[in-house]
Every structure is written in structure tokens, then in C-alpha cells.
Structure 1
Amino acid sequence: MCRTDINEYLENNRHWVADVLAKDKTYFDQLTSGQQPSALLLGCSDSRVSPSMVLGTNLGELFIHRNIANVVSHTDLNFLSVMQYAVESLGVKDIIVYGHYGCGGIRAAYENNNNGLIDNWLANIKDVIRHHQSELDAIADTDERLNKLVELNVLEQIANIKQTSVYKNALANGNKILLHAWVFDFSTGLVHDLKKKYNITPSIA
């Protein structure tokens, strides 16, 4: 895939605005009135997995936070603040952990080489590997093993969300928060729902 001249993005923006206004002259007026997103999505920073494009959403539909390998770290005040705002101020009732096959962060954690500063972040994923080492070792094909780790990592982050004060406070206040575990396959363009694959009840994922 060839690189794009940065200035082309500005030109693309102008074309996009013209197309939007041609269909709905009040579109931007509606955006300025505030946001009421349907869900909070935690995705990976990978440039190939743009949630809005893949899921076909409009502006204002998803409240999105992205980091390396879609990790929920209990020391990450950035994500925890985003989650608190989404749940307590925006009234979001659905939280999606959105991983993807072919994740570089997952591979780096599994290969366990010296990557510098990012190794501190990847330690979160290495914990997932340690918890599921025998299950992963039983998979002969490396790509299949890494795909399995992607799925296990998404499910682990769901479990981490359930341990946050934001989630616990929401439940204590009678607010039902549904957690969803999704994985994007950019070789097919499809998003897979892990709760269906693993027969997990919606209240868990």
C-alpha cells in the first residue's frame, strides 16, 4: 500500500464535507448539539483496523479509545477516565473490546524480544500468555497460536473491565453495562463476536 501525501487528507476532507452537506444541510448543526454515542469501543492503534470505517458508523455513534493491543490496564488513567466519562456522563450501556488478528503488539509480546519502552506495556499481554501457556503451546501452527492469543487477550480485557471501579460502581447504581468481545479479521474484513464463538453469555462478553 503506497503512502499518501499528507495534504491529500485535507483535500479529502473538503470533498467529504461537500458530499455530507449535499445529503443533509443540517448534519454539522446536529453534531454541535452534543454527543450520544451508542457504545464505548476499546480498539488497537493499528492503522488497518479503523473501527468507524469497518463498522460503518457515523460521527457521534461510537466513543472510541485506542492503544497498543487494546489493553485494559488498571494503571492507565487515560482509558479509565475515558470509560468513566462514557459510562457516567454519556450514559453508554455497551462496551466493546475490539481486537484484531495479525496484531503486532500481540506478536511482540509472544516473541518476548527486547523492544524497549513498549515492553512495559506488553507485560499486560505477557500475563495473558502466562495464564494460558499450556493452551497456546498445544497449537502447532504459529499463526493459529497468535490468533488464539488475540482472542484470549480480548477476553482477558473484558475480565479486566469488570474489575474496574467504574464498572463496579455502575452495577451498584443499577446500571446494566453489557460487555462485548469482538475481533476484526482484516484478511476478510469481517468482525467476529467471540461470545458466539465461545458460547459466552452476553452479561460476560
Structure 2
Amino acid sequence: MCQIDLNKYLDYNKVWAAEMLSFHGDYFDALKEGQSPRALLVGCSDSRVSPSKVLGLDLGELFIHRNIANVVSHTDLNFLSVMQYAVESLQIRDIIVYGHYGCGGIKAAYDNQTNGLIDNWLANIKDVIRHHKSTLDSISDETEKLNKLVELNVLEQIENIKQSSIYKQAIARGEKLRLHAWVFDFSTGLVHDLKKKYNITPSVV
């Protein structure tokens, strides 16, 4: 692999900052005052998945947590801390689990090979596979099966959010948290809302 000159990113940054100031003279003054993001997004670390770019959002609009295969783990203090801050301090009421087709973490879990340390993380996805074995076994096409697993994983992570102490305490306080299950499709550039695809009522997700 050839070496990349990372200075080009710094050069781009200078041009971008100058352009932002030319259009909005107080742009950075407003940013430094604090953040009021509209939603918390739990996405995958895949370099091709850029929620802000795909969804057309500006700085400060999304509070984002990313990990391998957008997993919500009850032992992940990093995510739990992010969620608690989002819900309790930033007063965020919309949480998006944002998966994508062609996810390497999903495939690695499905292939069930030995990968080292990451196997401990992939165990979360293997639980999803076990819970939905009959559904997955009924799909013969490999690509369709993996796409289905991506969707099932997103929906399972929604359920994991519901089981977290942060979610339960928020509901007990009378706060209405809205959970959204989205999947990004590389082949079309479109984001699919699984609630609409599977006709899931808002009260369920």
C-alpha cells in the first residue's frame, strides 16, 4: 500500500475553514458556545460509512458513537457513557442505530472463523445469528442472507438499547425516547428505514 500524504487533509481544512468564514462570519463563534445535537447515532466504524456526509448534516447536528458493526453492548462503558450524556445532559430524544449492507463485522461473525481479539466483540453478533437461525437458514442466496443479518442486527441493537438502565430510567422519568433502525445501502447510496420496510409501529421501535 502506498503511503498517503496526510498533509493534504490539513490543506483542505484551511480551505474549508476560510470558505465557512466567508459564508458565515460567526460560524465558529456559534460552534464554540456548545452543542445541541438533534439525535444520537450509533454507527459502524467502516470508513465508507459517513453519516454526516450521507445525511447532509452540519457540524453539531449529530452526536455519534461508532464501533465494529454498530453493536450496543451492555458491557461497553464507552457507549453507555455516550448514551447517558446524550440523554441526560444533551436532552436528546432520538436515537438511531445505523447499520450498512456489506458490513465486514457481520460477515466475520457469520463466517465464524478465528480472528483473535475481535472474536470477543463479534460474539454479540453471533448471538443475533443464534436467535434468528431459522430465518437465516431459510435464505439460500449468500448476499441476501448477509443483508438480512445486517437488518436483524440493527433491530437487535434497538432491543439492547431498550434493556439498558439509561433507557429504562429515562422512560420512568416520563421522557419519550424515539428509536430508529436505519441501514445504508452502498449500491444505491440510500438509507433504508427498517420500521417502514417491516411495517414496525413506532411504539415497538
TM-score normalised per structure 2: 0.98
Runs of 4+ aligned residues of structure 1 deviating over 3 Å after TM superposition are none
Aligned position for 1:101 = 101
Give the deviation of 1:4 after TM superposition: 4.5
Distance 1:103 1:4 in 2: 25
Q: What are the within-5 Å matches in structure 2 for residues 1-205 of structure 1?
A: 4-205=4-205
Distance 1:129 1:83 in 2: 25
Moved more, 160-169 or 15-24: 15-24
Give the deviation of 1:190 after TM superposition: 0.4
Task: Please list the CA deviations of residues 85-141 of structure 1 after superposition, one character each: whole Å capped at 9, or x if unmatched.
Answer: 000000000000000000000000000000000000000000000001111011111
Give the deviation of 1:3 after TM superposition: 7.3
Distance 1:90 1:52 in 2: 19
**CA distance 1:16–1:108, shift in 2 (3 Å):** same
Distance 1:150 1:36 in 2: 30
Distance 1:19 1:59 in 2: 15
Task: Please list the CA deviations of residues 12-42 of structure 1 after superposition, one character each: whole Å capped at 9, or x if unmatched.
Answer: 1111101111110100000011100000000
Number of aligned pairs? 204
Distance 2:109 2:6 in 1: 32
Task: Write the letter of the residue equivalent to 2:20.
Answer: V
Q: Secondary structure at the match of 2:114?
A: coil
**Amino-acid identity (%):** 75
Give the deviation of 1:152 after TM superposition: 0.0
Distance 2:3 2:62 in 1: 27
Distance 2:3 2:100 in 1: 22
Q: Secondary structure at the match of 1:69?
A: helix
Identify unmatched segments of 5+ residues in structure 1: none
Give the deviation of 1:5 after TM superposition: 2.2
Distance 2:5 2:175 in 1: 46
Distance 1:186 1:5 in 2: 27
Distance 2:64 2:186 in 1: 19
* CA RMSD across the alignment: 1.0
Give the deviation of 1:204 after TM superposition: 2.5
Task: Write the letter of the residue equivalent to 2:102.
Answer: G
TM-score normalised per structure 1: 0.98
Contact 1:179 1:203 in 2 (8 A): no
Give the deviation of 1:203 after TM superposition: 2.8
Distance 1:47 1:187 in 2: 16
Identify unmatched segments of 5+ residues in structure 2: none
